[in-house]
Structure 1
Amino acid sequence: MMCEVAMEEQEREISDIEPQECSKVAENGVLLVVNHSRIQPPFSVVLATVLYCAEFVSAAVLCSMYHKTDDDIWMGTTIAFMLLPAVIIQLALTFIHRDLGRDRPLVLFLHLLMLGPVIRCFEALVVYFKAGKKEEPYVTISRKISLKKGQGMPMEWEIGQSERNLATHRNAFKRTAVIQAFLGSAPQLTLQLYATIQEKYILPARLALMIITLISITYGALVCSVLAIQIRYDDYKVRLRPFAYVSMIVWRGLEIAARITALVLFSTALTHWVILVGMCNLLFFFFLPWVEFWARKGSLTQDVEKNFSKLGTTVVLCMFTLLYACINIFCWSAVQLDLSHRELIERKQRWGRLAMYYSGRFVENFLLITLWYFFKSDFYEYVCAPLLAVQLLICYSLAVLFMLLFYQFCHPCRRLFKYNVHDCLHCICCRTRRREARGRRGKLPPSYSTAATMVLVQEEPLELLDPRNSQPLDLTSQLGERETAIVEDMMEAA
């Protein structure tokens, strides 16, 4: 009891100091660590909401123009690609925030009006601005680490309610951004580019919608990459530098633009065959996780929702797999699914699957462009077709190059890779000779791909220096009796 009272007194002392200071109190085997970083503004929530509203409004304006010109086919498909992701986003937000069991009629009514992201964004902004007027933002955010001799290190987090609410909103909008990008924006951009080529002129409203959808797809792919990094390395503080974001934006933008252009050009020459190409891609990537799941003889995870039956869990996993397949049709999803795992995502970086995807996608784009070149219509007589084909292949090659640059130099956890890009590009014979030479010398030279750099303490644990060691970290062996301050807030949004 006396220890608990002393601990509470120490916590009160820490919570009453100035936010610019970083206090450390260690007594009776108890180490209190405080992070006074301010709550970050919900920029990702605002950006996702702006893209959602901009695309919805521009698509509605374009539909009204199609209605005036009696283009019923373009109008119907535009409405379909506008409403489908909007409905799924409303369901996803309601599911994540668990509003069905709460008395919130106004919020549910706004979801029925397809304005769910707007009210959620407003709630996030209200939480953020109110946080500074209470006692919370960084004063009550404290962490305490209990060190007991002969035992592990249990850690307890005391985080303000405002930060928890903002984290929920950020996570929800990251997922809705991916849904919007690949279930709505990608098909919408493909449709409008096809309509532009078929009608041989560009409408200002259509051009605006195409630009917005391209930005939305690129942002969704960026979110996929960042989420994959955060899930794989959730024990580390992941912070991307500006050059890493630039390389990812260029990589994703070129990849998506080249892919969609190849599909659209092929569809203008062989309209009905593009349906077969799209369905083959969709079915392959949809059934691939399920085939691997059945091959492993795994069991369905029950952590999707506790109240779900096995049928409900299967439906949710099918929707998740459908989104995964739609992503892979247009670009690399950056994750591999494991339906038996609690997080549904494999943590291991599979370089072989990454190489197979980009090699196969390059060959497929090459075949689509080649078939378009031989079966193209008379409209392309005014366009240098060989130059256009070469430009598309170069754009996709540049996307692969920027992807390699990102994993080689810009990935925040690149030093944790057992093998990096430079290892994978070496030939087998070179690796064999190097391995034999190292074996004769008796020791391995230091390599940056086998040393950790992003850990939760100031100094690197020796356990991470061996990439084969997958046991959980024992930070007590590194801390001893000295004080340690955690520099970054693990709950800060990426």
Structure 2
Amino acid sequence: MEEEREISDMEQSQPDSATVENGVMLVVNHSHIRPPFSVVLATVLYCAEFVCALVLCRKYHDTGDTIWMSFTIVFVLVPAVLIQLTLTFIHRDLGRDRPLVLFLHLLLLGPLIRCFEALVVYFKAGRKEEPYVTISRKISLKKGQGIPTEWEIGHSERKLAAHRNAFKRTAVIQAFLGSTPQLTLQLYATIQEKYVFSNRLILMIITLISITYGALVCSVLAIQIRYDDYKVRLRPAAYFCMIVWRGLEIATRVTALVLFSTALTYYVIPVGLGNLLFFFFLPWGEFWAKKGSLPENIEKNFSKLGTTVVLCMFTLLYACINIFCWSAVQLDLTHRELIEKKQRWDRLATYYCGRFVENFLLITLWYFYKSDFYEYVCAPLLVVQLLICYSLAVLFMLLFYQFCHPCRRLFRYNVHDCLHCVCCRKGKERDRRRRGELPPSYSTAATMVLVPEEQLELQDTQNSQQPPDITSQLGERETAIIDDTTDAA
């Protein structure tokens, strides 16, 4: 079994103490528990968008705009109901005696009670807990090798981690099943009515923040899922690149769709439906091509029909994300974790090239078929600005993968390889393998150590002849373990 390794772009903090007892290394941590900021932020965005949408519906009702009011209600209720189901499913409340919690979920107030529970756990545990063993890795000796078999963490941290993971999923659902269509609708209504009032503007700002946060959570979750064998931490520069990258990408995409819909209203339906169906059936097409079988670890009590329904909902969310921005993950319905862990640079390049061409065509068609309302707007300048903004989004994405991605040293190729010819790249890699050198690092500090396979085989031979030394195997790595990083988003 592969040993746990840590990748960090930040300066690593050492635990307070570490002892070895009966073949088990105990890492004692006296540090503060991480506050559940992600839980609070997701709850605030959910409540703010819900309340602003209801106030806006009241405004539409007073002005007689029945169509805008109906769509606004739909784009509020659908993600709210899905969020309640997601929280209930993750926390498994249906099999527990919690009538108050279930009643609040029926009132669409589930995120509030969950956030309250997370805050109670945090404050009850105290900002500084009593000394206890936060991480305990048991070592079983097998063929002269120490094999880590189990993690034991504090009860409070385990509860907070469960809440963080649940709210990260709900943030993605809220962003791409509710906020993105809501922002598109309100921007379209604003252009059609040629007037912006405060309630609508506030709702549009909140939805844009929610979408950007959801896309940021997608990127962080993709890194954590793809590199789950490592402890991953991101620098502030990485967050800055991702926020600018995602914000510009989503804002440009939504603007292009809205402008196109104002000029060719009915033609936007096949464009959006074509995108949705393509990304929805793409994972299923690959699944049928591989002739794979459905994973059985989603839920033990699920039948094949239940598993198929859950996978369809998961694929629908994946398709909705890819309509507006890059999802950062590729679905593999044959894998038990449903995520393809290989970094697919070809798909990344294909997606952004295709999306750039599509946005360019949508904006060009809008330019030729725009209404008289845009006579007071410099249309060529607006087209150039949108294309530049999307190009800047791609640029910040490249900067993130080249310099700020915490696991970039694990990439076989990176962005800079595109500047070299294939022959030179192969020649350098062949020489590097002969010398046993590591791939080039773009970090200012060393993040991890990779050992060639020949040295590992030699070490295994030596371990089989000598008694195992647990401290030499784990001392430096185990004491470098830091607090749980599930609050990264």
The equivalent residue for 1:10 is: none
CA–CA distance in structure 1, aligned partners of residues 132 and 429 of structure 2: 53
Partner of 1:448: 440
Structure 2 residue aligned with 1:6? none
Offset, 1:436: 4.5
User: 1:486 Cα shift?
Assistant: 2.5
Separation in 2 of the partners of 1:401 and 1:478?
Answer: 46
Gaps of 5+ in 2: 1-13, 456-462
Per-residue deviation, residues 397-416 of structure 1 (Å, max 9, x unmatched): 00000000000000011111
- Separation of aligned partners in 1, 2:45 and 2:474: 49
Looking at structure 1, the residues matched to 101 and 90 of structure 2 have their Cα atoms a distance apart, in angstroms, of 14
CA shift digits 1:292-319 (9 cap, x unpaired): 0111111100111110000000000000
Is it true that 1:159 corresponds to 2:153 in the alignment?
A: yes
> Out of 395, 403, 423, which is 1:432 matched to?
423
The letter for the 2-side match of 1:279 is L
Matched, 1:483 2:475: yes
**Cα pair 2:401 2:414 within 8 Å, conserved:** yes
SS at structure 2 position matched to 1:342 = coil
**Cross-structure match for 2:173:** 179
Q: Give the 5 Å matches for 1:185-334.
A: 185-334=179-328
- State the SS of the aligned residue for 1:448: coil
Question: Does structure 2 conserve the Cα–Cα contact (< 8 Å) formed by 1:35 and 1:141?
Answer: yes
Q: Which amino acid aligns with 1:42?
A: P
Contact 1:34-1:141 at 8 Å conserved across structures: yes
Task: Tell me how far apart the structure 2 counterparts of residues 329 and 245 of structure 1 sit (CA, whole Å).
Answer: 23
Mapping 1:28-427, distance limit 5 Å: 29-132=23-126, 139-146=132-139, 148=141, 150-423=144-417, 425-426=418-419
Residue type at the aligned position of 2:356: F
How far does residue 435 in structure 1 lie from its aligned partner after superposition?
3.2
Contact 1:415 1:453 in 2 (8 A): no
Return closer, same or farther for 1:22/1:490 CA change in 2, 3 Å cut-off. Answer: closer
> Deviation at 1:158?
2.0
Q: Which residue of 2 aligns with 1:11?
A: none
Shift of 1:159: 1.4
Contact residue 35 and residue 488 of structure 1 kept, 8 A: no
Residues 226 and 342 of structure 2 are in contact (CA less than 8 Å); yes or no, is this contact kept in structure 1?
Answer: yes
CA contact (8 A) 2:26 2:137 kept: yes
Structure 1 residues 236 and 331, CA gap change in structure 2 (3 angstroms): same
Q: 1:463 to 1:153 in 2, by over 3 A?
A: farther
Q: Give the length in aligned residue pairs.
A: 459
Could you tell me whether the CA contact under 8 Å between 2:15 and 2:482 is conserved in 1? Answer: no
| In structure 2, distance between residues paired with 1:441 and 1:60 | 62
CA contact (8 A) 2:57 2:72 kept: yes
Cα distance, 1:441 vs. partner? Answer: 9.8
d(CA) in 1 for partners of 2:27, 2:139: 10
Q: Does structure 2 retain, via aligned residues, the 8 Å contact 1:63–1:78?
A: yes
Moved more, 153-162 or 257-266: 153-162
Q: Structure 1 residues 147, 260: closer, same or farther in 2, change over 3 A?
A: same
Deviation at 1:274, TM superposition (A): 0.3
**CA deviation map 1:111-136 (0-9, x unaligned):** 11110000000000001111128x95
Deviation per CA, 1:84-142, whole angstroms, max 9, x where unpaired?
10010001011111111111111111111110000000000001111128x95652423
Q: Offset at 1:461? A: 4.3
Letter paired with 1:180? Q
TM-aligned CA distance change 1:35 to 1:254, over 3 Å = same
CA contact (8 A) 2:32 2:129 kept: no
- Name the CA distance, whole Å, in 1 between partners of 2:474 and 2:175: 48
What residue in structure 2 maps to residue 471 of structure 1? Answer: none
8 Å contact kept, 2:183–2:204: yes
The offset of 1:162, in angstroms, is 1.1
Give, as a single letter, the amino acid of the residue that structure 1 aligns with 2:422: R
The 10-residue stretch of structure 1 (140-149 or 274-283) with the greater mean CA deviation from structure 2: 140-149
Identify if the C-alpha distance between structure 1 residues 375 and 482 changes in structure 2 by more than 3 Å, giving closer, same or farther.
Answer: closer
Residues 429-460 of structure 1, C-alpha deviations (whole Å, 9 max, x = no match): x22145357768994665326999555xxxx2
Matched residues in 2 for 1:306 and 1:436: separation? 50
Q: Which amino acid aligns with 1:353?
A: R
Offset at residue 37 of structure 1 (A)? 3.2
Alpha-carbon distance in structure 2 between the residues aligned to 1:35 and 1:438:
42
% identical equivalent positions: 73
Q: TM-score, normalised by structure 2?
A: 0.88
- Choose 139-148 or 170-179, whichever is displaced more: 139-148
TM-score scaled by length of structure 1: 0.88
Structure 1's 150 and 488: CA in aligned 2 closer, same or farther, altered over 3 A? closer
Q: Give the direction of change, closer, same or farther, for the CA distance of 1:250–1:400 in structure 2 (3 Å limit).
A: same
CA RMSD between the two structures: 2.5
Q: Relative to structure 1, is the Cα distance of residues 305 and 440 closer, same or farther in structure 2, using a 3 angstrom cutoff?
A: closer
Offset at 1:341? 1.1
The answer as to whether partners of 1:26 and 1:483 remain within 8 angstroms in 2 is: no
Deviation at residue 169 of structure 1 after TM alignment: 0.5
Q: Closer, same or farther in 2 for the Cα pair 1:162/1:446, shift >3 Å?
A: closer
Shift of 1:24: 2.4
The structure-2 alpha-carbon separation of the partners of 1:21 and 1:277, relative to structure 1 and needing over 3 Å to count, comes to closer
User: How far apart, in 2, do the equivalents of 1:125 and 1:235 lie?
Assistant: 29
Q: Structure 2: which amino acid aligns with 1:154?
A: P
